[in-house]
Amino acid sequence: MAAEEQGEVKIHVEGDIVAVRKVVRSVATQMGFGITDVTRIVTAASELARNIFLYAGSGIMEWHVLRLKGRSGIELSFIDLGPGIPNVSLVMQEGYTTSGGLGMGLPGSKRLMDELDVWSEIGKGTTVTIRKWKKA
């Protein structure tokens, strides 16, 4: 992979969420996603970056351009070494929240993207990976 097909953004302070949004918007736009999909991708990225900041304190977002059987897409992984999610099924339910928010983070991100995978282990951290494929 060429250097411009992958990268990362560290998430340590609230302002880093803005940096995540800018990078994701730039990459998705350069890849040729339409404005609606760019907005969806940026919104999901913003939610997941905010989750890292709120629940783990810090982490990183890694991005990759995907190329598979003539298709292209973007993959974003949000990785933290925080406390982990005790019940992934519960946090995937619409409206569930531990912070008093709207509970749109993970379920909302899943709805906005084509794919969402969650790995979490108590005391070891969480990785949420989302993918959006370009329309043919």
Q: Locate tokens 């350069």: which residue?
A: 30
**3-state SS, residue 136:** coil
Measured distance CA(5)–CA(47) in Å, rounded: 23
The domains found in the chain, sorted by start residue, are: 3-133 (3.30.565.10)
Better-scored residue on pLDDT, 106 or 96: 106
The radius of gyration of the chain from alpha carbons, rounded to an integer in Å, stands at 14
- pLDDT at position 135 is 87
State pLDDT tens for residues 45-89. 999 999 999 999 999 999 999 999 999 999 999 999 999 998 888
Residues 6+ apart with CB under 8 A from 122: 83, 84, 86
What's the pTM? 0.91
Measured distance CA(52)–CA(8) in Å, rounded: 14
